[in-house]
Structures are given as structure tokens and as C-alpha cells.
């Protein structure tokens, strides 16, 4: 990433889809939780690097610059790892990690911890037994198909008799894109997307559809969090994936 790449000030917490700022998304809540503190530290380091790149700051030595980049990278990872105990913290984390993904500062934000935090943010009494197959059968079928294709690819990766790796890979890619494009409307649907991502990232290192699935998870979280906070769906359509 270039030193003067977007990543400081308001640019780092927004995105190209017109999403609201963290304070707007959280209904104007104030937070001093671990996610927020790490975000502020990251923005401060990004601002220092940008000022240096634009010539606004006193010249720094190369070791100083490298140290700032290392600190910025460490802070980006710490934002992903920071706990988000409340829905307000989760919203801040979602917006900031979307920016980090877009800038290439991190590769994976939908971690098992993050899936649990998002699931907890939307939890309500009595919904423990909700079933994806009942609530969103289309999404359930898409996830099942992707899991089947992944398992087949793993099982027959070294099979040279009558099995085309390229064809299987293309079919899995197409299937994952279908899951990514699906706009889930439920907590269990969001969790299913996150769990599929985790299952895939263990065996697939590079796939554009996998990146799309991760972005779709954050998109759907933003949409569902708006509904949870305001009691109705957002008037702004979700941005398309892929």
C-alpha cells in the first residue's frame, strides 16, 4: 500500500457504497471500548504517514517510517482481534474492518470470534432453535451445495481418473458467488454465511468468490444491524456483490 493511500480521517471508516459512519450506524452512541480505541490509534498512525508523504511533517528516517508501517499493520490486526461485546462495538468493528479489507491491510476479518460476536449482537430470547432450512430455504440449499462441492474437491483432489480439478474448482467458485449474492434477512442466515466462509478459507487460499463472500457478510451485517437499531429495514438497498 502506498503511504498516501486512503486510510486516515473519515475515509477510513466509510466506504464506496454510501454506508453511514460508525456513530450514525450506532444511533449516535458513544463508545470507548477496545475496538474504538484501536481504531483511533490506527487512524492516528495512518494520518502521520499521510502527512509525511505529503511533505507536511518533518522528515523522518527510514527506520522511523518502517516502524510506523509495522505499528499500523499490527493495529489493523488488533482491530480484527479486538472483542466487540455490544452491538455498538460490532458496528464500529464492521465499518472499520471493511475499510481495512478494501485497503488490503488485512485479508480475513470474518473470524470465528467475529461470527460469534455478530450472532450475539442479534440474539433475542426464544430464537435459539431457529433453523436456516425453515427460515431461508434458498440460502440453506446454496450453502449445502457449496459444502458438498468443497468436500468433493478435497476428497478427489489427487484423483486423476475421470475428475477434472479445473471444472470442480469453477463449479465451487460459481456456488460460493451464489451464496455471496444472496441477501440474508436473518441472524441464522448471517451465521451460515460466516461459517461457510470459515470452512472454505481452511482449504482455499485464493478465490475471488471467497473475498466476495466475506464482503457480503459485512454488507448483510450492516443491513441487519440497521433493522435491529431502527425497527425497520434500511431505505438504502444493499450494494451488489460480484
Q: Give pLDDT, residue 11.
A: 31
Alpha-carbon gap, residue 6 to 183, rounded angstroms: 29
Which three-class secondary structure state does DSSP give residue 212?
A: helix
Task: Answer whether 233's CB lies under 8 Å from 226's CB.
Answer: yes
Alpha-carbon gap, residue 25 to 219, rounded angstroms: 13
Q: Give pLDDT, residue 231.
A: 92
Sequence-ordered list of residues with C-beta below 8 angstroms from that of 91, at least 6 positions apart, any chain: 22, 25, 26, 222, 225
Question: Each residue's pLDDT tens digit in the chain (242 positions)?
Answer: 333 333 333 333 333 333 444 344 444 455 578 888 899 988 888 888 877 777 766 677 778 788 888 888 999 999 999 999 989 999 999 999 999 999 999 999 999 999 999 999 998 765 666 799 999 999 999 999 999 999 988 887 766 565 677 888 899 999 999 999 999 999 999 999 999 999 999 888 668 899 999 999 999 999 999 999 999 999 999 998 87
Alpha-carbon gap, residue 242 to 80, rounded angstroms: 24
CA dihedral for 199, 153, 139, 126, sign (positive or negative):
negative
C-alpha distances (whole Å) from 135 to each of 127, 143, 167, 175, 192 are 12, 14, 32, 20, 12
Alpha-carbon gap, residue 101 to 76, rounded angstroms: 10
Alpha-carbon gap, residue 178 to 242, rounded angstroms: 10
Size of the chain in residues: 242
Q: Give pLDDT, residue 31.
A: 57
Which three-class secondary structure state does DSSP give residue 43?
A: helix
For residue 101, the surrounding DSSP H or E stretch is: helix 87-103
Q: Give pLDDT, residue 160.
A: 59
Q: Give pLDDT, residue 99.
A: 92
Alpha-carbon gap, residue 138 to 184, rounded angstroms: 10
Which three-class secondary structure state does DSSP give residue 173?
A: helix
Amino acid at each position: 500500500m502506498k503511504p498516501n493511500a486512503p486510510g486516515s480521517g473519515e475515509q477510513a471508516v466509510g466506504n464506496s457504497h454510501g454506508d453511514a459512519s460508525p456513530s450514525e450506524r450506532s444511533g449516535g452512541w458513544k463508545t470507548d471500548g477496545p475496538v474504538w480505541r484501536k481504531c483511533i490509534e490506527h487512524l492516528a498512525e495512518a494520518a502521520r504517514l499521510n502527512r509525511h508523504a505529503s511533505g507536511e511533517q518533518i522528515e523522518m528516517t527510514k527506520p522511523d517510517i518502517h516502524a510506523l508501517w509495522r505499528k499500523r499493520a499490527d493495529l489493523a490486526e488488533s482491530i480484527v482481534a479486538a472483542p466487540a461485546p455490544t452491538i455498538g462495538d460490532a458496528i464500529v468493528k464492521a465499518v472499520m474492518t471493511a475499510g481495512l479489507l478494501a485497503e488490503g491491510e488485512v485479508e480475513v476479518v470474518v473470524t470465528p470470534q467475529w461470527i460469534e460476536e455478530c450472532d450475539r449482537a442479534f440474539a433475542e430470547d426464544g430464537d435459539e432453535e431457529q433453523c436456516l432450512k425453515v427460515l431461508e430455504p434458498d440460502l440453506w440449499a446454496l450453502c449445502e451445495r457449496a459444502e458438498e462441492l468443497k468436500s468433493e474437491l478435497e476428497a478427489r483432489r489427487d484423483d486423476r481418473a475421470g475428475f477434472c480439478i479445473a471444472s470442480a474448482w469453477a463449479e465451487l467458485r460459481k456456488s460460493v458467488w451464489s451464496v455471496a449474492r444472496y441477501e440474508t434477512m436473518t441472524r441464522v442466515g448471517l451465521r451460515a454465511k460466516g461459517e461457510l466462509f470459515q470452512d472454505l478459507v481452511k482449504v482455499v487460499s485464493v478465490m475471488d468468490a471467497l473475498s466476495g463472500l466475506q464482503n457480503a457478510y459485512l454488507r448483510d451485517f450492516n443491513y441487519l444491524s440497521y433493522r435491529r437499531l431502527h425497527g425497520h429495514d434500511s431505505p438504502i438497498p444493499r450494494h451488489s456483490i460480484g
